[in-house]
């Protein structure tokens, strides 16, 4: 790897808006953490039912709290959950195009913005009594489409690097993780459909944040450090998502094997192995 070039002061000044945005988000996280410590956490059932992952539950609650004004705005305008889901997929597709053309930071922020609608559409549906199987199907399907779009953008951006294979593996494993859950729920595998630490929120964070912060990595460690950070994140994501896919598939398979009734097995006879019994019956039939 070539030696990373230093970032000039003028480049650092150009990052002022990005640094301001990061400072704002960090300050709101600190504020929410202090508020939660004093008055208690506002526990969300959806978050509490998730198993512990690399994404702290306090962090997830903070992100939902941060997006509360957007949620209220959608409710005030009576925007349908399906419209939110569709718009989110379009935004994520735009982020994939930005990533493919090398605009990692902008693409990362657009991706985080679009992906955050993944929980807003469900909350709006519950608040307005519009929860439906059709909406759940559309949401789940378009989530997969958006995720594949983003991994496709990363694959194009790294088409001349080994990172291309990490992006493809991550995309394939992510699809298996989501499909295993959907199929497991369809055949009633119980709570095992949600096992595994690399679920969609974790995948969003592990890919979106490194992309969004590439200029800051460049500022701190030299030009090129940002893309290197994204490469490392993708490699880690590919490994962890593959492990999650394997664990979830095995857990669902095992749960269904336990639920399935054990079929009655005929007694084992050595004559059947060599076809002697079948030959005897044919001879007797003549």
Q: Is 2 a catalytic residue?
A: no
Angle 27-29-32 from CA coordinates, rounded to 5°: 110
Under 8 Å between Cβ of 152 and 96: yes
- In terms of residues, how long is the chain? 286
3-state secondary structure of 180: helix
Q: DSSP class of residue 7? A: P
Which of 2, 143, 160, 218 is flagged as catalytic? 143
269's tokens: 């006879």
Residue in 149, 73, 56, 183 with CA at minimum distance from that of residue 117: 73
The residues near 243 (Cβ < 8 Å, ≥ 6 apart) are 196, 198
The residues near 152 (Cβ < 8 Å, ≥ 6 apart) are 96, 100, 171
3-state secondary structure of 52: coil
Beta bridge partners of 5: 223
How many helices (H) and strands (E) are present in the chain, helices listed first?
14, 0
Query: Alpha carbon 14 to chain centroid distance?
Result: 31
d(CA 256, CA 183): 11
Share of the chain residues as helix, strand and coil, in percent rounded to the nearest 5: 80, 0, 20
d(CA 193, CA 187): 10
Give the residue numbers annotated as catalytic, written as ranges: 143
């Amino acid at each position: 790897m070539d030696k990373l070039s230093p970032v000039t002061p003028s480049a650092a000044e150009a990052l002022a808006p990005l640094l301001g945005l990061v400072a704002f988000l960090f300050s709101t996280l600190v504020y929410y953490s202090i508020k939660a410590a004093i008055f208690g956490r506002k526990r969300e059932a959806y978050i509490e039912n998730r198993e512990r992952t690399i994404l702290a539950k306090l962090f997830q609650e903070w992100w939902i709290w941060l997006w509360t004004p957007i949620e209220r705005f959608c409710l005030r305008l009576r925007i349908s959950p399906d419209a939110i889901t569709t718009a989110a997929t379009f935004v994520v597709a735009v982020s994939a195009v930005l990533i493919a053309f090398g605009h990692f930071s902008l693409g990362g922020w657009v991706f985080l913005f679009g992906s955050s609608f993944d929980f807003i559409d469900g909350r709006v549906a519950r608040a307005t009594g519009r929860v439906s199987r059709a909406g759940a199907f559309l949401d789940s399907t378009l989530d997969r489409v958006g995720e594949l779009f983003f991994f496709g953008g990363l694959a194009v951006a790294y088409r001349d690097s080994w990172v291309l294979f990490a992006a493809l593996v991550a995309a394939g494993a992510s699809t298996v993780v989501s499909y295993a859950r959907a199929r497991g729920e369809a055949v009633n595998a119980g709570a095992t459909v949600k096992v595994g630490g690399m679920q969609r929120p974790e995948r969003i964070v592990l890919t979106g944040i490194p992309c969004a912060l590439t200029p800051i990595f460049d500022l701190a460690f030299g030009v090129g450090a940002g893309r290197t950070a994204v490469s490392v994140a993708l490699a880690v994501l590919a490994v962890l998502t593959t492990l999650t896919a394997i664990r979830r598939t095995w857990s669902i398979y095992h749960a269904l094997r336990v639920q399935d009734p054990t079929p009655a097995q005929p007694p084992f006879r050595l004559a059947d192995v060599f076809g002697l019994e079948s030959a005897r019956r044919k001879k007797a039939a003549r």
